[in-house]
Structure 1
């Protein structure tokens, strides 16, 4: 009996298969959502319902964004052009310890306000339906149709909020049991692990023992811990060391998200971080990391506040900003000591550039630094800081120009490295990493600078993150694997997103497929929604398709 005709045939492609092995030419056939055959040119199927001449193009597994902030954008704009045009076919949500599941009717409104700067906050008149409360229900919502696949991390801060509110104290035994139970429920419902945000309230109030107790649950379910650790300033190495210690004590795999060594105090110190990583690996810790290929970082302006000023939630924070005594105490922290997340680093307002505002009356300030605004108003930088926090209800987003090129390159060379955009999609001028991360790795750091080979770059985007996520039959170009595929031109692929024009799609990526369906065809998004939530089972593997 003749073999059935494949749906799709890539003829004469140069395959970079995601393992790190050398490239090879092949004909690759796809039937339905599955790669059917990878054969030497002319030795596979002769025809298909659709044949693409892939001569001169690289066929790779779809890219996996290990650190994404599309928790709402994937629902509001499910076609997801920022990701599909880069070749991303899966992203990991629920990052930095704060997201929208699990929640209840009390914590959801608070979270919507707190992370509006990350994700926006569609209101009652927008037509957006906040119709979930559990992680399983949120993943079901993604399953209604999305341009990419998505994995989800249980956000520690959201769980802590459910169990004990915004209190700055250790949990009682009963509260810790509640957190462990909520975490286990989320993992049973399909989450791939737990994230923590240890410079964001209320997650920042957790001590090491609390995190160890929670990571023991994550380990039991086969997941991993993805921390936004306690300090990216003078205490960065100590913060990373604590995360390694939590992994050792709990037996939980560790993934260091947006692994950076920023600010002047850390210039040239990437080698110290990597020595810590190597020692942990040699000691048996299961450890990976991700980074984005840019120097500036991005977060909310309110993230510069010291932890004590955020205790109690957004309303309590705004109330403190009306108190002269509290403002003076905050000023001393940011101007003289450096607040928690940037411990030991005094804030330089010339490095803080506004990227987005919620109140459009403030829109003319986007693109300007706090120092520039202060000079125009005849105010100090800290006074403008207070004014913006109040006027924009804590929702302002910023770029922080604090990175070092030698650190960025050293970290991306490490064999435990994967790629995460950390891309925010809100604001008038968001960080271009949301639209450009993957193409920038391929163009600037691989083709132009030779920091990584094409094969090394692609394995960091595909096979290695798929293993960390526990995905079944994804991340490689192999028969029987899911047809999440990217066809790119290695000579012309490049990022076009800039800090002035950040919402610009990548060039040189003409075809992208998610579960065998084209989401980009001839360089244009198709609007197809074949993506779904990729759930892990309680045994730590992705559920069957």
Structure 2
């Protein structure tokens, strides 16, 4: 039905789709954050095989987001073995793009080797000022894996700011069993979450710790009373509300009852230029298409949703000559 809708709307079927690892977990065990059982993995493998028979390109895991982040290596390998039988691909948002990026790379390589599937790394980056100098070593590790026989590639978007939900500043366990809003309203759970975000243990991406309150800009507000905050940084919103940044985040999420699209000023253009020169890199948007009329209630969006390819050609080919036009195309 999905492809038929595209054809009816006049769009050529030039789209390939992956089945989400989080979708598989929801099919088998909903938002349970516990390790999957043998029976649950059998369900995931069956659904994965059906998707590949229906034309899926492979499986995608976004390993910093619930419920994908609850999956361990063995579970992902089990699923990817099915993908491999159909010559599919494992595409992954690494479990860390910051302080633990090297171990996250090793995990992706291990899955590719054990399941005998090609690996694609979503929107490669070294996020957070403390991690910017790691990108040359990230590239060295990918080159070494390729030299060793693993089919591994990556993609990127040409902006030094990333984009995801404001809820990403909270630990993944706060969203387990779909109880995020209940947890934020419960004083005891909220105190527990506060402790986790102010003193992160390194097992999840603590976005505000990485980028600071000045590096976080929520933009996707739907409720009229919150429109005044569009374009302001989290530090500025907190001052306006007379709250610390943690309570600001919690109360805004409760007010909006959605993740709130947010821009994170996480990367450096020096790394963008370095990444663009790698022969195994692709250009991606990491965004959907936006109809201005439909999108107006959600406010502005990250410019990568419409400016990715012009920015590569204009800024990095014509102006800075980082890569040639031929390589860009």
Q: Give the TM-score, by structure 2 length.
A: 0.93
CA contact (8 A) 1:153 1:194 kept: yes
Superposition map of 1:58-73 within 5 A: none
User: RMSD value over aligned CA atoms?
Assistant: 1.6
CA contact (8 A) 1:338 1:345 kept: no
CA distance in 2, matches of 1:146, 1:152: 18
Q: Deviations over 1:270-326 (max 9, x none)?
A: 11111110111011111111000000000011122101101011xx11000012222
**Which of 358, 369, 372 is the aligned partner of 2:236?**
372
Q: Which residue of 2 aligns with 1:326?
A: 189
Where 1:450 maps in the other structure, the secondary structure is coil
Alignment length (residue pairs): 320
CA distance in 2, matches of 1:415, 1:214: 29
Superposition map of 1:143-542 within 5 A: 143-147=7-11, 149-313=14-178, 316-337=179-200, 340-342=203-205, 346=209, 348-424=212-288, 425=290, 426=295, 427-458=298-329
Runs of 5+ in structure 2 lacking a partner?
none
CA distance in 2, matches of 1:391, 1:379: 15
Higher strand share: 1
Q: Deviations over 1:12-49 (max 9, x none)?
A: xxxxxxxxxxxxxxxxxxxxxxxxxxxxxxxxxxxxxx
CA contact (8 A) 1:263 1:345 kept: no
Query: If you compute each CA radius of gyration, which structure gives the higher value, 1 or 2?
Result: 1
CA distance in 2, matches of 1:412, 1:146: 33
Return the offset for 1:153. 0.5
Return the offset for 1:139. 3.0
Relative distance call for 1:279 and 1:345 in structure 2 (3 A) is farther
CA contact (8 A) 1:235 1:343 kept: no
Higher helix share: 2
CA contact (8 A) 1:268 1:406 kept: no
Q: Give the TM-score, by structure 1 length.
A: 0.57
Return the offset for 1:186. 0.8
CA contact (8 A) 1:259 1:291 kept: yes
Return the offset for 1:143. 3.1
Return the offset for 1:328. 1.8
Relative distance call for 1:345 and 1:339 in structure 2 (3 A) is farther
Q: Which moved more, 1:332-341 or 1:379-388?
A: 332-341
CA distance in 2, matches of 1:240, 1:373: 35
CA contact (8 A) 2:222 2:299 kept: no
CA distance in 2, matches of 1:216, 1:408: 33
Q: Deviations over 1:119-176 (max 9, x none)?
A: xxxxxxxxxxxxxxxxxx3333333334352110111101110111111112111110
CA contact (8 A) 2:24 2:44 kept: yes
Runs of 5+ in structure 1 lacking a partner?
1-136, 459-545
CA contact (8 A) 1:234 1:345 kept: no
Where 1:337 maps in the other structure, the secondary structure is coil
CA distance in 1, matches of 2:176, 2:259: 17
CA contact (8 A) 2:77 2:115 kept: yes
CA distance in 1, matches of 2:202, 2:222: 24
Higher-RCO chain (CA-CA 8 Å, sequence separation at least 6): 1
